[in-house]
Amino acid sequence: MHLTLAFIETKGFVGAVEAADAMTKTASVKIINYKKIGDGFVTVLIEGELSDCQAAIESGSAAASRVGELISSGIIPRPLEDLSLFKSPGIKRKTGIKPNPKLNKEKNTTDIITLIKKAGDGITVEELQEITKESKEVIRQLLKKLMDEDKVEKIHRKHYWIT
């Protein structure tokens, strides 16, 4: 028995939550992952029998459209095993930034995290650099780590604390 993969992508977290709620109430499907992509885009991935996924995507798309912006949706019947990597929440972003041993300086790391938390309307790398006197490389490495842990989200050039 092969399960079907299906997804809904929305602009805005509320639309994604509404879609996920509608999908799980409509059919016997399981939410296997969700991912905040950036710029407000959220993708919800489900699996189940083909007919259940079709019904779930239909109701989830309608629900997402009512409260937010539906970007796309899709169904992949009988996916190849290679697609199982999308089920894992452990996928990390790849960047050209290399680890820096300076990140182990606890005080500066704590200061940067505190600044991000306090910046209600977001904060840029340049602003963090100016305040902390740390190098851009150190700040970017910390921000990458926090984004991988889903604690910080980057929208345009600003970083926001989300947990």
**pLDDT tens-digit map of 14-41:** 999 999 999 999 999 999 888 888 888 9
CB-count burial class (<10 Å; 0-12, 13-18, 19+) for 5: buried
pLDDT in tens, 82-98: 666 566 554 444 444 44
Does the structural domain 4-86 have CATH classification 3.30.70.1710? yes
Whether 144 shows a pLDDT value over 60: the answer reads yes
Would the pTM of this model clear 0.95, i.e. be above it?
A: no
Give the pLDDT band of residue 72 (cuts 50, 70, 90).
very high
Give the pLDDT band of residue 99 (cuts 50, 70, 90).
very low
CATH number at 101-161: 1.10.10.10
Higher pLDDT, residue 58 or 106: 58
User: What are the boundaries of each domain within the chain?
Assistant: 4-86, 101-161
pLDDT of amino acid 94: 43
pLDDT of amino acid 48: 92
Cα dist from 159 to 19, 51, 153, 154, whole Å: 26, 41, 6, 4
Higher pLDDT, residue 63 or 110: 63
pLDDT of amino acid 95: 43
pLDDT of amino acid 8: 96
DSSP states of 16-61: HHHHHHHHHHHSSEEEEEEEEEETTEEEEEEEE-HHHHHHHHHHHH
